[in-house]
Amino acid sequence: MADEKKITHMPHNVTMNDCRNLTLTGVEEVIGCDEELLTLKSSMGEMTVGGRGMHIGSFNRGSGELKIDGLIREIIYADPEPDTKGFFKRLFK
The pLDDT value given to residue 79: 76
- Domain boundaries of the chain, sorted by first residue: 2-78
Rg (CA), the chain: 16
CATH 2.60.40.2000 corresponds to the domain 2-78? yes
Query: Please, which contacts does 26-35 make with residues 24 or more away whose CB atoms are closer than 8 Å?
Result: 26/64, 27/59, 27/61, 27/64, 27/65, 27/66, 28/61, 28/64, 29/61, 30/56, 30/59, 30/66, 35/70
Structure pTM? 0.75
pLDDT digits (tens, 9 = 90+) for 40-61: 999 999 999 999 999 999 999 9
User: To the nearest whole percent, how much of the chain has pLDDT over 90?
Assistant: 72
